[in-house]
Amino acid sequence: KQGKQNNYQSSNFQFRSGYSLTQHPPKSNWLIKRYIDASSLIEIFGDPGCFKTFLALDIALCIATNTPYHGLPVSKSGSVFYIAGEGFHGIPRRLRVWSLANGVDLKGIPFFVSNQ
C-alpha cells in the first residue's frame, strides 16, 4: 500500500523512496564502527584464496568475545552463529590460531558453527 512520500509498506516491512532516505536518513547503530551496523546482514565474497574465511571468523569472534576489531571497539557483543559455506574442516584450526593470536580462551564463548 502506498503511504506518505511514495513509501510502500506491508506490516513492518517497508520500502522508502530514495528522496525520503536523503531527507531523513536512519541513524547508524554501529556494531563495529564504520564497518558493520548492528541491524545489518553482511556477506563476504571474493576470489578463492583471498582469506574470506579468516576475515569472517575474525569479525565474528571479535563480536562474540567483545575483543576490539583491529583497534576499533565492538559496541555490543553477543552470540554469533557462523554458517560454514565451505572449508568446514579447516575452521577448527583457524579458531585455535585466532584464540592464540588474541589471547582469548574460546571456552564458554557464545560462538557457534554450523555442521556443514
Look over the chain and give the mean of its residue pLDDT values, rounded to a whole number.
87
Per-residue pLDDT tens over the stretch 39-50: 788 888 899 889
One pLDDT digit (tens) per residue for the chain, 116 residues: 455 556 555 567 888 899 998 998 888 888 998 888 887 888 888 998 899 889 999 999 999 999 999 999 999 888 999 988 777 888 999 999 999 999 999 999 999 999 87
Q: Write out the E strands in 5-109.
A: 8-10, 13-15, 30-32, 36-37, 80-82
Alpha carbon distance 87, 90 (integer Å): 6
| Cβ atoms of residues 62 and 69 within 8 Å | yes
Q: What is the largest CA-CA distance in the chain?
A: 54
Alpha carbon distance 116, 111 (integer Å): 15
So what's the pLDDT on residue 61?
Answer: 97
Note the pTM of the prediction, 2 decimals: 0.77
Per-residue pLDDT tens over the stretch 68-77: 999 999 998 8
Q: Side chain identity at 48, as an amino acid letter?
A: P
| Cβ atoms of residues 37 and 29 within 8 Å | yes
Alpha carbon distance 30, 74 (integer Å): 8
- Three-state DSSP at 23 gives helix
